[in-house]
Amino acid sequence: MNKLMAYVGKYKKYALLAPLTIIGEVILEVLIPMVMAMIIDVGIQGEGGVPYTVKMGLVMVGMAVLSLVCGALAGKFAAQASTGFAKNIRKALFDKVQDFSFKNVDRFSTASLVTRLTTDVTNVQNAFMMMVRMAIRAPIMLIGAAVMAVSINPTLSLVFIIALPVLGVCIYLIMSNAHPRFEAMLKKYDGLNARVQENLIAVRVVKAFVREDYEKVKFEEAAQAVRTAQVRAEKLVILTMPLMQIMMNSCIVLVMWFGGGMIARGTFAIGELSGFISYITQILMSLMMLSVVFMMQVLSRASVTRINEVLEERIDITDETADPNLTVADGSIDFDHVSFSYSGDEKRFSLKDINLHIKSGQTVGILGGTGSSKSTLVQLIPRLYDVTRGCVRVGGHDVREYKVETLRNSVAMVLQKNVLFSGTIRDNLRWGDEHATDQEIEAACRAAQAHDFIMSFPKGYDTDLGQGGVNVSGGQKQRLCIARALLKKPKVIILDDSTSAVDTATDAKIRQAFREQLSGTTTLIIAQRVTSVMEADLILVLDEGGIADMGTHEELMQRSEIYREVFTSQQKGVA
């Protein structure tokens, strides 16, 4: 928790004001039983009479009102501090995730990151509020009430002095055993979020295959797993409450028993006994509050660990060795004995000893079977992953010499999974260039064969896409993503199977537009159709993580059995 305290930030003043007002509240609450005892012993039973009773009664009411004001202010300040603290942690987590490389993202599931940003931060927020309120209030009240009780009757105080260590040991044993159970519970939350996320993303597939009942069963299993984990964790923690009640009631019974005997012998006043019982109640209530604080700390401890795992994750792609003044001169690409493994294990290479030179402005087609590492190859160019061995150069320099922002601004990539964001079509296109004019946007959309279908919408470029672009087809989504990439005016553009959902005629028009408008841009096209790459300057044939062959269409038809088989089978399919 100490590592996260830095995120209190500008809300530190509220975090300090809350304990100060709580101290005022507690002091007043501790003094009220003493005033009440004086009213009984001096005003009612003594010589003070009604005037003294009224005067001290008004004093007690004033103290109660001041205590209420202090309590309200403490609640307000604690809420401001804790919500600000949570906001800063969420921002830090989100900012950290934005800096993640693909390898970092692979370590954490999306569902787990969502849980950490929501449930875990909420747990930490609640624990922080407990720290600035109950964790201050309870010890001060415990000490203050104990001092007042001892000052009234040291002998009778032995009752709670003996009870305190017994209770402390019991609470410690309960909390230490509860921590691993809360950790397991949060992992079940990850699983539940994963189920929900998967179902919502694939809701159309679920309905198309009429698998709603199957998904309901899966969700119920995940929800039941969360419930079971919650019950297992909380049934141990809730033992603290009956334990506290038993201890508090036992202490009160013993105080009444021994205190009543002292009153009968004339060694103890009724008002003093009343005040003593009030202090005993305050002491035991303080212990109950402390037990709640401990419970929240146990729950938040697991959440703090999970939050710190993200914040302390080492970013493997940084600008530490980059030259801030270096720019990408052209679109030439070189792979120099490049090998790559997702796990870093050199015995499990996905790419093996790739040697390749692509001239600036060339169009390169990439073919290969499923699992031949086509996407992996192109992801090394904008440094979405770092090579395990060898070197990738763009514009004549190792990609690690560029600042990541400089490199990626010069390399546009249309990923295999096309993603659009909520907002208008125009908003999404300006991801490529936030300052693009309407004319530039239209030109990019014409090149991507997207302008006509955009204008068929009533609002044209101002059409709202909805979350993830749910109201456009797969082919339309691909063309919008291509247009967005073109707006970057990149030195290198990579199309990772990004025309698979468009018809062959539209695909041909897109390739023709690329040849006419991107003559100086290096274009890499991963495709399943040979017709999409057969006019390329260079075609790579990948097989099992290596380059099986490379050349033009005519050259590969003569010497590459893999290429020839793919071409022949696809031509038969067309016929």
Q: How many C-beta atoms surround the C-beta of residue 62 within 10 A?
A: 11
- DSSP, res 9: G
Helix (H) or strand (E) holding 546: strand 546-551
> What gap in Å lies between CA 174 and CA 170, rounded to an integer?
6
Instruction: Compute and round to an integer the Cα radius of gyration of the chain.
Output: 35
Mean pLDDT of the chain: 84
pLDDT given for residue 417 in this prediction: 74
Q: Which segments in the chain show pLDDT lower than 50?
A: 575
Helix (H) or strand (E) holding 182: helix 158-201
∠ CA(566), CA(570), CA(572), 5° rounding?
Answer: 120
Query: Is the separation of the CB atoms in 454 and 425 below 8 Å?
Result: yes
CB-based contacts of 408, cutoff 8 Å, min separation 6: 382, 383
Global pTM exceeds 0.85: no
3-state secondary structure of 496: strand
pLDDT given for residue 378 in this prediction: 92
pLDDT given for residue 575 in this prediction: 46
Longest dimension (CA), the chain: 120
Closest by CA to 486, choosing from 432, 406, 529, is: 432
> What gap in Å lies between CA 469 and CA 42, rounded to an integer?
79
pLDDT given for residue 84 in this prediction: 92
DSSP labels, 14-46: HHHHHHHHHHHHHHHHHHHHHHHHHIIIIIISS
Q: How many C-beta atoms surround the C-beta of residue 106 within 10 A?
A: 12
Cα–Cα distances in angstroms (integers) from residue 233 to residues 117, 267, 304, 391, 476, in the given order: 22, 49, 17, 51, 49
CA atoms within 13 A on the CB side of 117: 16
> What gap in Å lies between CA 430 and CA 448, rounded to an integer?
15
